Structure 1
Amino acid sequence: MEFTPKNRATVQNMPKLPYAVEEALNRLRVNVSFLGSKVKKIMVISSAPDEGKSFVAMQLWRQMAEAGSKSILVDMDLRKSVMVDKYQVVREDNGKILGTSDYLASDDTLDKYVLRTNIGAGDLLPNKENIINPSMLLEGQKLASTFEELDENYRYTFIDAPPLNLVSDGEKIGSLCDGALLVVRAGETPKAMVRNSIRQLERAGCPVVGIALSRAKGAASGYYHKYGNYYGKSYYGKGYGYYGKQGYYGYGTEPK
């Protein structure tokens, strides 16, 4: 069912990124667009905390929206959301922001919670109130129907999900998505942990459509090539050849 957001918001703290970081993210955007028309709901996730997945989700959404693709970023990190405060998301009427957890626990329609923003063709469904155990919300039929509704209204739905090795939320969310973009902190995240994350996502029926190396200092180092060769050959074979031989994207340090 088509809908129009009833509230508008301004993202007041969108950082100006260094040229190299912006270009790396732009390459990521372009390659995501090559995934085809059937890949619309993309979960952005990491294995562990502090790998930069929320940064990647926000910036990928921004770039898609600024390029004219109707996109929405959904904050599904319901236990520890930082989006509203970090990026200073403010409703234009100064009203209270009601987010994802509020919506899933209500009988309201989606248009009351989605925010039309000042970022190109981009909308947000943020989360304001963190909850200790969102399992019931994630297992309910409303989440599945919500994703179907977003699928009908947006070219891209990006989902910021909690780290895989902390809770099972990511697997539940991933089962409703077309694919996952796995964010890996270069030189820090153990390869065994990344392999395990990929297996978890595959079990959930959510294929890994890309790997983004965060805080990368140079794609030529042996560490990155080991990652690239492993994932390029093992996971970006026939279906994902457009990622090239490496199958990853590197970008620099996340702005403070």
Structure 2
Amino acid sequence: MKSLTFMKFTALDYSCTEAVNTLCTNLTFMGSKYKRIMVTSVNESEGKSFLSLQIMRTLSELGKYVVLVDADLRRSVIDINYRVRYADNNKLGITHFLAGKCEIDDVFYATDFKRAFFVPVGYAVSNSLALLNSPRFQNLLDQLAQQVDYVLVDSPPVGMIVDASEIAKSCDGALLTVGYNRVRRRDLMEARQQIERSGCTVLGAVLNNVPPSAYSSRKYLGRSYYGGYAAEYSKLEGKE
């Protein structure tokens, strides 16, 4: 099996670690019904890729086998931001597979986290929707789901391009990463509706980059917040 190393993996402080642990524990409570989980956001730079990797790491530490699929085919940031080092020079990714240039085993990488695997994006493309609409994408997620406990899919933002809606069709559930004070409630509700129209259940939202003034020694909007993360697992309420 091919392998890679995340040379720069962000360490969380205690409070943030506890928030992600709580999130992942709640995911495990949902059972096997939600194996293929899309992690997305409304806009860019809300922390969806960061959250995807933290969930991958934490689930693996909880004893689960998990693979993270980088499906942000146009603007992936994982390789650069986390300085991914591949064991060999023949780097292949999901775009190679979707284009029919290789097989699943060629894009399935073991990581430096035990029980955690990664499918990189490969090369950037402009025709991402055509590739994601291919039966090979559904086949990829189906086959991966047979090998691991969880398939996480880091998708493009819902509010930017239609790729996320196409990806959602192949997923059981979705988590919305919400940047603190970066998203209007109306836009968040529209994102939820867009995902659910694709037949994918929105499992909840994770509020990211919460400042200390919003969570220190109190509740924010009636929910407990930890460090920079706030984990909300119930369905989003359709209120303005």
Same fold (TM over 0.5): yes
User: Superposed, which structure 2 residues align to 1:38-57 within 5 Å?
Assistant: 38-57=33-52
Q: Which residue is equivalent to 2:197?
A: 203
Cα deviation per residue 1:120-175 (whole Å; 9 max; x = unaligned)?
A: 20000011311122111011111111111011111000000000111100000001
Whichever residue aligns with residue 69 of structure 2, its letter is V
Residue 108 of structure 1, aligned match among 102, 111, 117:
102
**Compared with structure 1, are the counterparts of its residues 249 and 137 closer, same or farther at alpha carbon in structure 2 (3 Å cutoff)?**
farther
Q: Does 2:114 align with 1:127?
A: no
CA drift at 1:250 = 5.5
- Structure 1: which 5+ residue stretches go unaligned? 1-5, 229-245
Cα pair 1:214 1:250 within 8 Å, conserved: no
Q: Which residue is equivalent to 1:62?
A: 57
Cα pair 1:186 1:224 within 8 Å, conserved: no
Aligned equivalents of 1:190 and 1:220: distance in 2? 23
Q: Which residue is equivalent to 2:17?
A: 22
Aligned equivalents of 2:160 and 2:219: distance in 1? 25
Cα deviation per residue 1:70-98 (whole Å; 9 max; x = unaligned)?
A: 00000000000111121122122x32321
Q: Does 2:189 align with 1:213?
A: no
Aligned equivalents of 2:228 and 2:178: distance in 1? 12
Residue 151 of structure 1, aligned match among 145, 150, 156:
145
Q: Which residue is equivalent to 1:191?
A: 185
Aligned equivalents of 1:22 and 1:221: distance in 2? 18
Q: Does 2:163 align with 1:169?
A: yes
- Structure 2: which 5+ residue stretches go unaligned? 230-240
Q: Which residue is equivalent to 1:80?
A: 75
CA drift at 1:222 = 10
SS in 1 for 2:55: helix
**Compared with structure 1, are the counterparts of its residues 224 and 171 closer, same or farther at alpha carbon in structure 2 (3 Å cutoff)?**
farther
Aligned equivalents of 1:197 and 1:219: distance in 2? 25
SS in 2 for 1:37: helix
Whichever residue aligns with residue 33 of structure 1, its letter is T
CA drift at 1:198 = 0.6
**Compared with structure 1, are the counterparts of its residues 144 and 251 closer, same or farther at alpha carbon in structure 2 (3 Å cutoff)?**
farther
Cα deviation per residue 1:41-67 (whole Å; 9 max; x = unaligned)?
A: 000000111111111101001111122
Q: Which residue is equivalent to 2:172?
A: 178
Aligned equivalents of 2:102 and 2:134: distance in 1? 15
Cα pair 2:96 2:102 within 8 Å, conserved: no
**Compared with structure 1, are the counterparts of its residues 223 and 106 closer, same or farther at alpha carbon in structure 2 (3 Å cutoff)?**
farther
CA drift at 1:205 = 0.6
Aligned equivalents of 1:157 and 1:91: distance in 2? 21
Cα pair 1:73 1:124 within 8 Å, conserved: yes
Whichever residue aligns with residue 56 of structure 1, its letter is L
Relative to the length of structure 2, the TM-score reads 0.88
SS in 1 for 2:31: coil
Cα pair 1:41 1:179 within 8 Å, conserved: yes
Q: Does 2:4 align with 1:9?
A: yes
Relative to the length of structure 1, the TM-score reads 0.83
Aligned equivalents of 1:223 and 1:197: distance in 2? 25
Cα deviation per residue 1:171-191 (whole Å; 9 max; x = unaligned)?
A: 000011000001111222100
CA drift at 1:224 = 4.5
Q: CA RMSD in A?
A: 2.0
What percentage of aligned pairs have identical amino acids?
Answer: 32
